[in-house]
Structure 1
Amino acid sequence: MKDKTTSSLLSSALPRYMIRILAIFLTATLLRGTASAEPLRLPPMPKNAACTTTIVTPGASSDGSMLVSHSDDNDLGDQSIVFVPARDWPEGSLRPVYASAVAVGDQPQFNAFLVPRLVDKNRAPGYANPGNAPSIPIGHIPQAVHTYAYIDGNYGIMNEHGLMFGECTDGAFISNGPEPGKRIFYSAELSRVALERCRTAREAVALMGQLIETYGYYGTGETLPVADGKEAWIMEMAPSPEGTGGLWVAQRVPDGHFWVAANEFRIRDLVPGNPDQMWGKSLMGVIERAGWRSPKDASLPVDWLVSVSHGEYNHPYYSLRRVWRALSLAAPSAGLPAWVESGSTRAYPFSIRPDRKMNVEDVKRIHRDHYEGTEFDLTKGVAAGPFGSPERYLGPYDPHGDVGDPKAVLNGAWERPISMYYTGYVYICQWKPHLPAPLAGTLWLALDRPAESVFVPLTVGPLPKGYEKGDTRAFSRDSAWWSYNLVGNYAQLKYSYMIRDIQARAALNEAEGVRIQDTLEDELAELASSAPHQAAAQRNQRFNAYAEAVRADWGKLFEFLVAKYAQGFVNTPDKMAQTVGYPQEWLDKTDYSHGPARGYAKDGK
């Protein structure tokens, strides 16, 4: 149950929220306090804001690291990566819970917007966001006496003790909004509370499950991979049809396995007594009362995916193609099929043992993928243009809705790759459990789309100021994100040429980042034992300095690309204005051969 202080506080604030909610949603649904009330059903959200997330367990990694990755494909949302410091709090204090616009869009009644995602200088200096109205809490929960330091994005990322999160949004039967006193948590705030209070993945899953059941869950279907240095769990959640509480399940990733999710629930059969699974105490009763249980035969295990969702959203293979691709890159010998019978296929295992031990470079490769070398290669074909761009810009004719939903519109579709033009940032959390804590954790961060960006190493500590500034509403030279975005956007002018320059520069910078990481592990080993805080501070300063150097180098790369490819030529200091034109295979698909070179008569005859 909610504590009396929290309930009283929510009750006293409710009239102010009621007025704003009525003005925005034009519905009285939010005013009903009973659990049986029909939940608010929001219009379908644009499905561009969708992510890919992976886990490499220690037994599957080449150096015993736990790796957790996440691409935040956020349609020009808030790209700020923010350091939240550790804090001590007075006994009896309350923690505000804020609305997440990434769940259901801008919510002016709570001053919750995609940009900036949060305005609360008490949460972190990086969230001061002067000039913007302070965020309004949906509710409060009792505050912990001490909260841990962590790195935050649109979802929680990694804390000082090596607790790590990824995320992806999933289709679900219900998508609803927050309501004070009934539904105050979305996965974003759940992950942050867990990072503030937990050291292990099991603790985090248990805490988030308790918060869902006590305070209610709103938003979309969600998958949260959560791992520590030794163990990884996948937690999935969806709004409840009863308007309060929420539905959640969790499953452990076996050590020695690789796991991936891409906007579709990945947990299937729920087996009572399975020590590698957990789920909410109300789950079975709720799906039975809603008539959602699948299969209907009570003697068979509940299929979580089918019981709470249509499976994929947007279009067939929007999710499954990425799952197939990532699993196939990790384990080509598995021979997984690219084509399946439906979105609820059993063709792709929950996790897979890779053919060889994986490392950070393998995960980067996965996140930079456009199906190169497969039948789905997006750098090929007419749509790739003359210079092989993998980008496929979406518009009003593209699919929306869930695949199994009869209201879904499917006029055609592009393949959905892992690296997308609307990717805001990608990170790979790495924790080396064999090292002392001050040296064990590294956050490899690439701002903007990963295929045209570079991964820099950071720690759970104060960040370079430019990396905490990710406002996409106006170009700013103070923002690191804009520095990387310039290169990613400019590359589309002559992609097949520029991508080679970009990849070469990224490889050099990333190799130097690994060298610095290795050097510091040796140089600071003794200090990490005798003075751990001092070792952590020195490592943080060194990584931050390198991140700033890489950002500056990326600015120079942009200038280099502008000069080298000016006016459509290829230019070098010793040979300017090299005329390269268009590839013959592309010209053959145009009306080039019917141009005026055939003669002066009509049609060249």
Structure 2
Amino acid sequence: RGGRVRPVSIFRGLYSFVAVSRPKAAPLSGVLWYGHDCPHGTVYVPFYGVQDTVPKSYLVGLQSEFNLDSAWWAFNFVNNWVLLKFSYMQPEVVAEQRRLEHKATSLVAKVDAHAAHLLEHGHGHKGREELIKYLEEETVHFAEEVVASRWTLAFRLISKYSGGNIMRSEAEEGGCSWPGYPKDWLALTNYGDWPGSSWSGPWPNEGDSTVHRQVDKRGPSPSTFIFSGFFAILGLVLVLVRFQRTRETGYQTLL
């Protein structure tokens, strides 16, 4: 039993949005900033209330079926992959998020200015149709750019962070590193109890923030051979005893 405070950016969030009402900007008074999946890993994209279309990728997708044509899956995949090494990958996600949302803010300012010009010099219904067409072209194009950039980020994270390694390049020395785990985290496990007296190499410096892998190159110890031989002989004895009992049972049956 128990419960936790539910944050806005809950890990299983499917989408979120910020609805902005601007009465003085009519007919562009309503702007919806929509983001797929968890808020901490999404990019909020602006859509105007008067437009009739959005990108097709924003309308397709099932949670039960992975789909490269779905905008939701682009964000959901990245947010799940990031969980493998959150402290390393999330800063890259945030950097991309800020870049695109800054671009989105500039886009809205540009669209608002041009829309005001169209409204001022438009001609009735035709002018309104021209305005809506312009809004849709700008916002849909930007939304598609965001989805494409999210898949690009996804593929980069897959190759860079895999198997506990950080792969930057095969062409240079040190292009691949293994960051290990924080010492505070290792202290909560029994990691420090292994390998006991079999250790032969130097311990990492106490000031290191991470503990790296060490390899014992001495090979099997004599005690390993002793224990292996003991269990092999014990197994052979048990097989012989069972075989002897089987023979005795067979003789009794014949009599």
TM-score calculated relative to the size of structure 2: 0.70
Task: Please state whether the residue corresponding to 2:113 is helix, strand or coil.
Answer: helix
Q: Hey, what does 1:443 align to over in structure 2?
A: 32
Q: Hey, what does 1:343 align to over in structure 2?
A: none
Task: Please state whether the residue corresponding to 1:423 is helix, strand or coil.
Answer: coil
Q: Structure 1 counterpart of 2:37, which letter? A: D
Q: 1:454 to 1:598 in 2, by over 3 A?
A: farther
1:174-573 mapped onto 2 (5 Å cutoff): 410=1, 412-437=2-27, 439-460=28-49, 461-529=52-120, 530=122, 531-573=127-169
Q: Structure 2 counterpart of 1:599, which letter? A: S
Q: 1:436 to 1:415 in 2, by over 3 A?
A: closer
Q: Residues of 2 paired with 1:588 and 1:415: CA distance?
A: 28
1:452 and 1:503 in contact (8 A); partners too: yes
Q: Residues of 2 paired with 1:597 and 1:549: CA distance?
A: 54
* Percent identity (aligned): 28
Q: Residues of 1 paired with 2:158 and 2:16: CA distance?
A: 25
Q: Residues of 1 paired with 2:41 and 2:136: CA distance?
A: 25
Q: Structure 1 counterpart of 2:130, which letter? A: Q
Q: Residues of 2 paired with 1:499 and 1:547: CA distance?
A: 21
1:528 and 1:536 in contact (8 A); partners too: no
Q: Residues of 2 paired with 1:469 and 1:446: CA distance?
A: 15
Q: Hey, what does 1:593 align to over in structure 2?
A: 192
Q: Residues of 2 paired with 1:478 and 1:548: CA distance?
A: 11
1:458 and 1:547 in contact (8 A); partners too: no
Q: Residues of 1 paired with 2:178 and 2:196: CA distance?
A: 19
Deviates more, 1:592-601 or 1:461-470: 592-601
Provide Cα deviations, 1:299-337, integer angstroms capped at 9, x if missing partner: xxxxxxxxxxxxxxxxxxxxxxxxxxxxxxxxxxxxxxx
Number of equivalent positions = 191
TM-score calculated relative to the size of structure 1: 0.30
Task: Please state whether the residue corresponding to 2:20 is helix, strand or coil.
Answer: strand
> How far off its partner does 1:429 sit?
1.1
Q: Structure 1 counterpart of 2:178, which letter? A: T
Q: Residues of 2 paired with 1:564 and 1:582: CA distance?
A: 17
1:436 and 1:528 in contact (8 A); partners too: no
- Structure ranking higher on relative contact order (CA contacts 8 Å, 6+ apart): 1
Unaligned runs of 5+ in 2: 200-220, 224-255
2:43 and 2:97 in contact (8 A); partners too: yes
Q: 1:416 to 1:524 in 2, by over 3 A?
A: closer
Task: Please state whether the residue corresponding to 1:427 is helix, strand or coil.
Answer: strand
Provide Cα deviations, 1:394-431, integer angstroms capped at 9, x if missing partner: xxxxxxxxxxxxxxxx2x44443321122110011112
Counterpart of 1:578 (choices 148, 156, 177) is 177
Task: Please state whether the residue corresponding to 1:524 is helix, strand or coil.
Answer: helix
Q: Residues of 2 paired with 1:499 and 1:519: CA distance?
A: 30
Q: Residues of 2 paired with 1:579 and 1:542: CA distance?
A: 43
Bigger Cα Rg: 2
Provide Cα deviations, 1:362-404, integer angstroms capped at 9, x if missing partner: xxxxxxxxxxxxxxxxxxxxxxxxxxxxxxxxxxxxxxxxxxx
Task: Please state whether the residue corresponding to 2:75 is helix, strand or coil.
Answer: helix
Q: Residues of 2 paired with 1:478 and 1:431: CA distance?
A: 31
> How far off its partner does 1:449 sit?
0.9
Unaligned runs of 5+ in 1: 1-409
Task: Please state whether the residue corresponding to 2:14 is helix, strand or coil.
Answer: strand
> How far off its partner does 1:535 sit?
1.3
Q: Structure 1 counterpart of 2:140, which letter? A: N
Q: Structure 1 counterpart of 2:13, which letter? A: T
Q: Residues of 2 paired with 1:466 and 1:549: CA distance?
A: 11
1 or 2, which has the higher helix percentage?
2
